[in-house]
């Protein structure tokens, strides 16, 4: 006995799947949905084989890859690589994770769809004024030309959660989850992720909570994302194992500063510092 059709059950289907009713009604709209939001639809999905968590998402992202049973979690890494080949949507990196409690740093890729569980309200910034990010994969991992800002906390901003040495990379998308019914879309926050700089690459830092730009960084990113001259090219490893994270800690956490005590009226300037990573 039929219980209804797709149209009559649209509200119920949307509530269960968390997929917007407009997308359920018209699949051609799927490509307009942020990658992170699409990943969130599969956050609670369970499969018998680990690989099928990735394989069942191929149509969702319009990618074709060979099925290699036995590769385990590498299948989800391959899926993310394939998405990068087809899209410049940086929301792919908006994942958060409660895993790896003893690991301080991670690579740029998520380990499973469940790490996108908090991304159901993320929307791409589709402003025509914003230049596309340039992405490519090489032996160092992800090479990306985009906007980053040093996330130091100004003395007047008690709301900032940045640590000294953190950089914030703009993901060119917004998070609407924090908005109340009385707030407008214009009040949505830019989504950014925290990075720290190693010898010749950046790594993901503080990945256990959703990151929305503090006010002073948000203003910088708003300007920088419209100005190509403020972009920079960086490398981030695709994944970072626990042993690699531990090896990085003493190098990244060791900090020093140089202080000049100059007489009134004198100023100092740093010229061509080497190595740049310091």
- pLDDT over threshold 50, residue 117: yes
3-state secondary structure of 47: coil
Residue 153, pLDDT score: 45
Confidence of residue 160 (pLDDT cuts 50, 70, 90): very low
Q: What is the pLDDT of residues 32-72, one digit of tens each?
A: 999 999 999 999 999 999 999 999 999 999 999 999 999 99
Residue 6, pLDDT score: 65
* Per-domain boundaries in the chain: 33-250
Mean pLDDT of 161-184: 70
CB-CB neighbours of 217 under 10 Å: 27
Q: What is the pLDDT of residues 220-267, one digit of tens each?
A: 556 555 555 567 899 999 999 999 999 988 877 665 566 677 777 777
Strand stretches in the chain, DSSP E: 105-106, 122-124, 134-138, 141-146, 148-150, 167-175, 189-197, 202-205, 232-236
3-state secondary structure of 40: helix
Q: Are 97 and 207 in contact (CB under 8 A)?
A: yes
3-state secondary structure of 73: coil
Mean pLDDT of 205-218: 66
Looking at the chain, the whole-number percentage of residues with pLDDT higher than 90 is 40
Q: Are 52 and 40 in contact (CB under 8 A)?
A: no
CA–CA distance, 92 with 112 (Å, rounded to integer): 12
């Amino acid at each position: 006995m039929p219980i209804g059709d797709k149209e009559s059950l649209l509200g119920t289907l949307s509530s269960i799947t968390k997929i917007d009713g407009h997308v359920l009604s018209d699949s051609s709209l799927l490509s307009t949905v942020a990658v992170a939001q699409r990943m969130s639809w599969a956050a609670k999905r369970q499969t018998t084989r680990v690989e099928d968590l990735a394989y069942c998402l191929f149509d969702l992202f319009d990618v074709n890859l060979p099925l290699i049973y036995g590769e385990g979690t590498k299948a989800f890494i391959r899926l993310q690589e394939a998405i990068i080949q087809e899209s410049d949507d940086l929301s792919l990196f908006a994942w958060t994770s409660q895993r790896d409690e003893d690991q301080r740093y991670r690579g740029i890729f998520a380990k499973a769809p469940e790490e996108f569980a908090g991304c159901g309200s993320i929307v791409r910034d589709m402003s025509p004024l914003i230049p596309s990010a340039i992405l490519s994969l090489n032996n160092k991992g992800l090479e990306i030309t985009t906007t980053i800002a040093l996330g130091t906390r100004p003395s007047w901003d008690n709301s900032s959660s940045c640590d000294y040495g953190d950089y914030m990379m703009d993901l060119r998308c917004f998070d609407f989850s924090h908005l109340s019914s009385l707030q407008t879309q214009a009040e949505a926050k830019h989504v950014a992720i925290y990075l720290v700089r190693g010898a010749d690459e950046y790594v993901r830092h503080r990945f256990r909570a959703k990151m929305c730009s503090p006010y002073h960084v948000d203003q910088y990113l708003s300007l920088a994302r419209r100005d190509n001259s403020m972009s920079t090219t960086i490398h981030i490893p695709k994944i970072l194992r626990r042993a690699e994270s531990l090896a990085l800690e003493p190098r990244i956490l060791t900090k020093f500063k140089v202080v000049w005590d100059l007489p009134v009226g004198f100023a100092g300037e740093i010229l061509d510092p080497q190595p740049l990573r310091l």
